[in-house]
A and B are shown apart, each in its own frame.
Chain A
């Protein structure tokens, strides 16, 4: 027996030792300096020690990833003696995998970040490096590409932890319709001023095209207005919102507003009139797919310049757009695609240098976004590209389909099917958009996590049903609101209000 217990003891000791090792792993970076660890101040990049910058971002794996990476490294080697390792992670695994990688202290130097993926929490949890000094030092290209208000939209407590990607940074909302049918039934688009003018249009389609649904949701499993017709600043993910992008900075529960009730009534009416899919609440089909296959006529969408051209290309049917709201810039819009430097980076300086090139080096950006010239695209003219012969979207070896993620999209070549002036237009669009009064505010959810967890469940229970018209709002909206209250939504809203007020004070 003695032997035995001794063996057990030494076994335990082993476990404890290993446990300590683990603890050490997690704590290795404790108090790790947020500012630069090494500061190579030389201007000439070739004098730098070689370093590999690991980049993590969401995307599906690409056949020719290695080849593109090699090409990028040729440029980077030349300029800053750096190489990159591209690590695309599939979107469904993104949150889990990045959480694990950060907890495991694996090396990541540049990481995609988004308000939609808890940017605020990441900062609160100490995952990201503060970037202000680094931008100052190495980010001349970034500062040139972004307006100051855009750069500071990602600031938390006055400090910057992520750099927004340059793309369409504002949005208006409206409806995209099949042009051939609009023409065929002589629908007068100039008469459509609000959603209430659409009934007649949908009725025409329903009467004349029996196999077609007049209106579908853009994204599967959502209502038509979801991300398609939004009248408020969602203040980091909705729930407590700022109606009309102002509301004198008073945060309200969107689901309690009269506007929301009105929208639901309209949707319910449409549903009952047969303008919407009967299965809308459980549909697994993308609205754009349905249009492409001739089953649907129209969908609401967030818009940017040339949205109709893009939609036409995607659905293979010519689409026409009616814009129903003015364009607004909000924090959520600007911070939806960003780049950050995680704590795990062994050389934040170098990470920032690479990032800076993605905002300023046309060749590098286009390599990252579109792949290798001659292999993944061919140049039609200086700035216009197209697929090489025999290559298309289905068999290209490199196309993440997310050009807006890779840095400065204004550096991008345009496709021959698109408008060559699109970036000029987008720039004007960004500059012309009104600014939400809360632009620059980011909500930190940490204090109300418990309530958020309960509210999230209530939302999945009701929102889709109500917003697809399948549930009767007269009966279910009051139930929904009551359940939200019991889940603690008011705590979330007052916390948001508190943080917003504090933020507003610092803006003066």
Chain B
């Protein structure tokens, strides 16, 4: 038995190792490119083994440290607030939908799901947030539009609640005299840590990587988030390479940073998420069973 297990473990680990290498190599290339000498990129392209190394890209970013740290600050604020609020709203909405005894729960599920299929488009959404609510150039514009990211996580969480929390558990809690809310907080949530951690992680990534809301709702550079800053530059380059507008100007119309700087910016944007990841992994715990809660 024991040896059989070891073979299985070896098999599993080797496959995952191969997949892992496949995933991490491009990231390593990204990192190495960011510390490669600009000249050698222009001449030889990106390489795992560049001719010459240089920290000039990071030094270039350091010149801008004030702005970058500020953007980090904005990003952290919107990510933390956004994720927490979003988790609260999402789970509160998903739980009743998951209850089969809840009246009209199919209707409400459809009501929620429908928003994933049809949307009014950018212009009307923009009008709602800028005319009805005065969100233009505020932090709220970076938080509120992303709270339910397309209702996707509501549907996911609803399914999770419905499948992994047996109705008898809820029933018995109610027998003991617990109200709905108390049942939800004391029984359902603790049993749902993995899905809460998953949605929390994805919301964190979503807020961290969101540049679109920043692009349309924010013109005040004090409120630029990190990815907004980064994406403006990347997209500007892309625009310049594909628009017939730029070509007609005798000067380049934007200050295009060098390739290594673009790579360094990408690295700077990813690292913090990697550091935050283990925090969510803590909640990926097996054995949080019904028995455990009951006992």
Contact (Cβ within 8 A) A97 B215: yes
* Contacting residues, chain B, for A295 (C-beta < 8 A): 42-43
* Contacting residues, chain B, for A12 (C-beta < 8 A): none
Given A61-B224, A103-B123, A117-B245, does the pair A302, B250 have CB atoms closer than 8 Å? yes
Contact (Cβ within 8 A) B239 A91: yes
Contact (Cβ within 8 A) A87 B219: yes
Contact (Cβ within 8 A) B241 A220: yes
Question: In chain B, residues 95-153, which have Cβ atoms closer than 8 Å to a Cβ of chain A?
Answer: 104, 122-124, 126-128, 130-132, 136
Contact (Cβ within 8 A) B254 A401: yes
Min CB distance B225 to A, Å, is: 13
* Contacting residues, chain A, for B124 (C-beta < 8 A): 22
Given A61-B224, A103-B126, A293-B43, does the pair A307, B60 have CB atoms closer than 8 Å? no
Given A92-B236, A103-B123, does the pair A58, B253 have CB atoms closer than 8 Å? yes
Contact (Cβ within 8 A) B39 A219: no
Given A22-B131, A114-B245, does the pair A60, B60 have CB atoms closer than 8 Å? no
Residue of B nearest to A104 (CB): B130
* Contacting residues, chain A, for B42 (C-beta < 8 A): 285, 289-290, 293, 295
Contact (Cβ within 8 A) B242 A286: no
Contact (Cβ within 8 A) A332 B248: yes
- Docked Cα-Cα span, A404 to B248, in Å, equals 13
* Contacting residues, chain A, for B163 (C-beta < 8 A): none
Contact-residue bracket for chain A: 35 or more
Question: In chain A, residues 278-302, which have Cβ atoms closer than 8 Å to a Cβ of chain B?
Answer: 284-286, 288-290, 293-295, 301-302
Given A26-B127, A219-B241, A284-B241, does the pair A90, B235 have CB atoms closer than 8 Å? yes
Contact-residue bracket for chain B: 35 or more
User: Does B28 have its Cβ within 8 Å of any Cβ on chain A?
Assistant: no
Contact (Cβ within 8 A) B239 A92: yes
- Docked Cα-Cα span, A173 to B148, in Å, equals 53
User: Does B232 have its Cβ within 8 Å of any Cβ on chain A?
Assistant: yes
Chain B interface: which of A221-229, A340-348, A360-368, A379-387? Answer: A221-229
Question: In chain B, residues 18-45, which have Cβ atoms closer than 8 Å to a Cβ of chain A?
Answer: 38-39, 42-43
Dominant secondary structure at the A interface = loop
User: Does A208 have its Cβ within 8 Å of any Cβ on chain B?
Assistant: no
User: Does B6 have its Cβ within 8 Å of any Cβ on chain A?
Assistant: no
User: Does A211 have its Cβ within 8 Å of any Cβ on chain B?
Assistant: yes
* Contacting residues, chain B, for A22 (C-beta < 8 A): 124, 127-128, 131-132
- Docked Cα-Cα span, A21 to B39, in Å, equals 57
Residue of B nearest to A288 (CB): B252
User: Does B244 have its Cβ within 8 Å of any Cβ on chain A?
Assistant: yes
User: Does A159 have its Cβ within 8 Å of any Cβ on chain B?
Assistant: no
Min CB distance A160 to B, Å, is: 22
* Contacting residues, chain B, for A249 (C-beta < 8 A): none
Contact (Cβ within 8 A) A402 B251: yes
User: Does B206 have its Cβ within 8 Å of any Cβ on chain A?
Assistant: no
Contact (Cβ within 8 A) B232 A286: no
* Contacting residues, chain B, for A93 (C-beta < 8 A): 215-216, 232, 235
User: Does A41 have its Cβ within 8 Å of any Cβ on chain B?
Assistant: no
* Contacting residues, chain B, for A58 (C-beta < 8 A): 253
Contact (Cβ within 8 A) A116 B132: no
The residue from B127, B215, B216, B242 contacting A25, defined by CB atoms under 8 A apart: B127
- Docked Cα-Cα span, A90 to B232, in Å, equals 7
User: Does A130 have its Cβ within 8 Å of any Cβ on chain B?
Assistant: no
User: Does B243 have its Cβ within 8 Å of any Cβ on chain A?
Assistant: yes
Interface bits A101-145 vs B (CB < 8 Å: 1, else 0): 001111000000010110000000000000000000000000000
Contact (Cβ within 8 A) A91 B240: yes
User: Does A304 have its Cβ within 8 Å of any Cβ on chain B?
Assistant: yes
Contact (Cβ within 8 A) B60 A104: no
* Contacting residues, chain A, for B219 (C-beta < 8 A): 87-89, 97
The residue from A25, A226, A293 contacting B247, defined by CB atoms under 8 A apart: A226
Residue of A nearest to B42 (CB): A293
User: Does B185 have its Cβ within 8 Å of any Cβ on chain A?
Assistant: no
User: Does B294 have its Cβ within 8 Å of any Cβ on chain A?
Assistant: no
- Docked Cα-Cα span, A96 to B235, in Å, equals 13
Question: In chain A, residues 307-323, which have Cβ atoms closer than 8 Å to a Cβ of chain B?
Answer: 307, 310, 314
A-B pairs, 8 with minimum CB distance: A116-B245, A227-B247, A61-B221, A92-B235, A92-B239, A221-B241, A293-B42, A90-B232
